[in-house]
Amino acid sequence: MSWSKLKQNLESFLCPALNGRVEYRATSYRYLPDKAGQCYIAVDKKNVLNMSDTTTLIRWYQTELEIKNDPDIQIPISNEEMEAIRRDTKGLVPEDRLQVIARSRKISEYAKELLSAQSSLSKSNFTVVANQFLSTSIEESIESNDILLNILALVDRRVGKKRILNMSENIKLKHPIVQYFYELRRSAL
């Protein structure tokens, strides 16, 4: 599918409040047909997501330690996770330390998933992911671990107000760029 047709299809799914604010842009190389152009997403005429550029407005993590030390990351710990650690330690660990252990374990898993998603995003092809988004259900795109699919689903008009508001806990466990687009969509409700 040509870029202009793909862009037209993607923009037809934008929610009305973000129409004109969110733009899909692409550069191409006329005299270098074997060199792929770059695709990026702009919000209010500012480049927010360029898949090969780490100097955008959103924080990109380089190491697991950066994620663990980021004070902005809020990791919710469920009672089931606390009980699992309590069983693992056979009740010998004080209650306040159980929360520290649970948070540490969960943030390590989160960091690995986040770095994996980030690295796959930088290697992915925008047009391939966009075509995948257009051919799959909106639920699959929202539940996916692919950052770009999450973003495209969040700005989609098929995702209603109730679903957006119910996603707040799950979004806390997503990459900062997904959280940015979630807040953008919530502000547009």
Sequence ranges of the domains in the chain:
3-60+116-187, 64-113
Q: What is the pLDDT of residue 185?
A: 93
Contact 167, 183 (CB under 8 A): no
Confidence grade of residue 164 (pLDDT, cut at 50, 70, 90) = very high
Q: What is the pLDDT of residue 72?
A: 75
pLDDT (0 to 100) of residue 157: 92
Looking at residue 1, its pLDDT comes to: 76
Q: What percent of the chain has pLDDT over 90?
A: 25
**In whole angstroms, what is the distance from residue 92 CA to residue 52 CA?**
48
The pLDDT, as a whole number, for residue 81 is 86
Widest pairwise Cα distance in the chain: 68
Q: For residue 177, what are its two tokens?
A: 């760029």
2-11, 50-59, 172-181: least confidently modelled range: 50-59
Q: What is the pLDDT of residue 140?
A: 93
Over the stretch 38-73, which tens digit does the pLDDT of each residue have?
677 889 988 887 765 445 555 667 777 787 787 777
On the CB side of 40, CA atoms within 13 Å amount to 19
- Higher-confidence residue of 31 and 43: namely 43
As a whole number, mean pLDDT of residues 154-181 equals: 89
Q: Nearest-CA neighbor of 105 among 93, 122, 121?
A: 93
What is the residue-averaged pLDDT of the chain? Answer: 81
Residue 93 has pLDDT above 90, yes or no: no
Helix (H) or strand (E) holding 47: strand 46-50
26 phi and psi angles, rounded to 5 deg:
-150, 145
The reported pLDDT for the residue numbered 136 is: 92
Report the candidate in 95, 98, 118 with the shortest Cα–Cα distance to residue 49. 118
